[in-house]
């Protein structure tokens, strides 16, 4: 396959990894400890950006699904597959980190707090989406149906959010850059960009794999239908 962007993609990944190391150092040693939580809070430097990446992944998936239904293209379908999977990966990572943070802070791993619960529902919905993709062989049907499911699942996020918030609330009030130490903001931003570059590098690679899969699936029936020149 023609791969003129290989260096850019590798560069993006490398930049992301370097920033992850810098960000980890900033989060662990450079940023000041929290007044109330002490060092426990430091997990937010990777937990919060990971959750942001999950939401970005969900949003890209939604856009790709809408784009596919408007105008069918394998690029949109592959992007939808890639964004769902990479977003799901960051989501599981972020959710586990959130639970690790919850134990010393709330005293329990799991509490039915709106953000945690909405995220868990979101992840289960995207697991369903990925499962659906595995269970349909016909690539065109798979693309249309998973696009429909992707749109329906994305529209559910705000409703889940409101319903669980009314149901129960415990999570931290969101902090804004005005309420925290400026060093904390900078450390969080470095980590956010680090994970963003890693996310983009993963997304791009996963997209290429998905495109290669589509090409293989579409070529296969013809290859089986008539003997190739080499065989004859």
Partner 1 sequence: MNAPGLLRTTWILLRKDLLLEWRTRARLNALIFFALATLLLFSFALGPDTTLLARHGGGYLWLALLFASVLSLGESFRVEQENLCLDGLRLSPTDPQAIFLSKALGNALLLVFLGLTLLPVMIAIYGIELKMGLAPLLGILTLGCTALSAPGVVYSAIANHARAKDVLLPLLLFPLVIPALLAAVKATTLVLQGDPMAQLGSWVGLLSAFNLIYWGLGLVLFPRVIED
- The tokens for 91 are 């989501």
For partner 1, which stretch binds (CB under 8 A), given 37-45, 138-146, 200-208, 216-224?
A: 138-146
DSSP states of 39-56: TGGGGHHHHHHHHHHHHH
Question: Is the distance from CB of 9 to CB of 204 less than 8 angstroms?
Answer: yes
Asked if residue 132 binds partner 1 (CB under 8 A), the reply is yes
Can you tell me the distance from the alpha carbon of 188 to that of 19, in angstroms, rounded to the nearest whole number? 11
One of 30, 106, 145, 204 touching partner 1 (CB under 8 A): 145
Asked if residue 40 binds partner 1 (CB under 8 A), the reply is no
One of 164, 192, 194, 211 touching partner 1 (CB under 8 A): 164
Q: How many CA atoms lie within 13 A of 182 on its CB side?
A: 0
DSSP SS3 for 96:
helix
For partner 1, which stretch binds (CB under 8 A), given 5-13, 124-132, 202-210, 218-226?
A: 124-132
For partner 1, which stretch binds (CB under 8 A), given 23-31, 94-102, 121-129, 213-221?
A: 121-129
Asked if residue 170 binds partner 1 (CB under 8 A), the reply is no
Asked if residue 48 binds partner 1 (CB under 8 A), the reply is no
Can you tell me the distance from the alpha carbon of 192 to that of 39, in angstroms, rounded to the nearest whole number? 19
- Look-up of token digits 């937990």: 47
Residues that bind partner 1 (CB under 8 A): 69, 121, 124-125, 127-129, 131-132, 135-137, 141, 144-145, 147-149, 151-153, 155-156, 159-160, 162-164, 166-167
């Amino acid at each position: 396959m023609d791969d003129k962007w290989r260096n850019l993609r590798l560069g993006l990944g490398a930049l992301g990894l370097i920033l992850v190391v810098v960000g980890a150092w900033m989060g662990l040693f450079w940023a000041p400890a929290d007044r109330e939580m002490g060092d426990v809070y430091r997990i937010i430097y990777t937990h919060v950006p990971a959750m942001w990446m999950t939401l970005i992944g969900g949003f890209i998936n939604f856009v790709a699904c809408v784009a596919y239904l408007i105008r069918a293209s394998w690029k949109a379908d592959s992007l939808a597959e890639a964004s769902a999977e990479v977003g799901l990966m960051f989501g599981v990572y972020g959710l586990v980190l959130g639970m690790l943070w919850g134990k010393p802070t709330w005293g329990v791993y799991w509490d039915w707090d709106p953000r945690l619960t909405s995220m868990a529902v979101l992840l289960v919905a995207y697991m369903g989406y990925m499962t659906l993709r595995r269970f349909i062989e016909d690539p065109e049907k798979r693309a249309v149906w998973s696009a429909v499911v992707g749109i329906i699942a994305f529209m559910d996020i705000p409703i889940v959010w409101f319903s669980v918030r009314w149901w129960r609330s415990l999570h931290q009030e969101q902090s804004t850059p005005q309420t925290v130490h400026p060093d904390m903001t900078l450390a969080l931003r470095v980590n956010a960009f680090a994970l963003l570059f890693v996310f983009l590098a993963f997304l791009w690679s996963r997209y290429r794999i998905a495109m290669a899969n589509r090409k293989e699936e579409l070529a296969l029936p013809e290859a089986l239908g008539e003997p190739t020149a080499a065989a004859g």
